[in-house]
Amino acid sequence: MKYKKLIIVDLQKDANINYDNVLYIYLNNGKINFENSQKIYLKFIRKKNFFKTKKNLIRTLREKVNKSRKILECFPELDFFNLRNDRDPSYDLLLNILLINKYKKLKKIRETVIITDSEITKGCFSNNTSNKIVYINKKSNFILNLYRLKVLKFYIKSFFVVLLAKIFNKNNINNYYNNDACITLFPIFFNKN
């Protein structure tokens, strides 16, 4: 049976949604109900094209960073090329999305429905107009992930650490042994003075 619709499920918890005669992929732990449908295992898709897609993604990101270096000189020093999946799951999600798009082109699937409760997944899939997004959000999610706020917080902490170090540092001006300190392998050589 040839399926014309692909369902991508990215839910934290199970939902009571039903679909019939579709292909489906689970990206997270949450499940929904399918009848007469075929499951596509992400492991099967990743086995074929994962390393090639990852290499292309890293090359593309490296080119973007080199172009951005003209605008912001410290851009390559940012924590951007640390592509560990346990550090930031959005890189793994991005690779999965790229692999799923290749699979869609290979199988000539026109209609895609994304069922998600994640803002990141919603943002990644909303760029394509052929995707229909079903967003399930049971709680209001207001999180500010501002890089500048993190840098400002670091500078404030550093300022207070330096300030406390200056206050509690005991500089004795009357200590005349500071100028005579020498570190050497031959301590007997300086014994004459």
pLDDT in tens, 27-71: 888 899 999 889 988 888 888 788 888 888 888 877 877 777 777
**b/e per residue, 54-64, with b = 16+ CB within 10 A?**
beeeeeeeeee
Confidence category of residue 139, pLDDT binned at 50, 70, 90: low
Based on the fold, state whether residues 57 and 131 are members of the same structural domain: yes
Across 73-124, where does the E strand assignment appear?
A: 111-116
- Whether 23 is covered by a domain: the verdict is yes
Instruction: Count how many domains the chain has.
Output: 2
Based on the fold, state whether residues 175 and 86 are members of the same structural domain: no
Based on the fold, state whether residues 9 and 62 are members of the same structural domain: yes
**b/e per residue, 117-151, with b = 16+ CB within 10 A?**
bbeebbebbeeeeebebeebeeeeeeeeeeeeeee
Boundary-marking domain end, from 106, 135, 164: 135
Based on the fold, state whether residues 64 and 123 are members of the same structural domain: yes
Three-class DSSP category at 107: helix
Boundary-marking domain end, from 135, 156, 176: 135
Based on the fold, state whether residues 9 and 101 are members of the same structural domain: yes
Mean pLDDT, rounded, of the chain: 77
Is there a contact between 109 and 5 (Cβ–Cβ < 8 Å)?
yes
Confidence category of residue 179, pLDDT binned at 50, 70, 90: low
Confidence category of residue 159, pLDDT binned at 50, 70, 90: very high
Q: What is the pLDDT of residue 80?
A: 54
Is there a contact between 105 and 125 (Cβ–Cβ < 8 Å)?
no
Q: Using alpha carbons, select from 27, 28, 29, 32 the residue that is nearest to residue 15.
A: 32
Based on the fold, state whether residues 78 and 25 are members of the same structural domain: yes
Based on the fold, state whether residues 97 and 169 are members of the same structural domain: no
Based on the fold, state whether residues 118 and 164 are members of the same structural domain: no
- Whether 101 shows a pLDDT value over 60: the answer reads yes
Amino acid present at 59: R
Based on the fold, state whether residues 102 and 172 are members of the same structural domain: no
Q: How large a percentage of the chain has pLDDT more than 70?
A: 72
Reported pTM? 0.60
- Whether 109 is covered by a domain: the verdict is yes
- Whether 169 shows a pLDDT value over 60: the answer reads yes
Domain region containing 176: 147-192
Q: What is the pLDDT of residue 185?
A: 65
Residue 148 has which token pair? 């500048």
- Whether 142 is covered by a domain: the verdict is no
Based on the fold, state whether residues 110 and 86 are members of the same structural domain: yes
**Which of the two residues, 193 and 106, has the higher pLDDT score?**
106
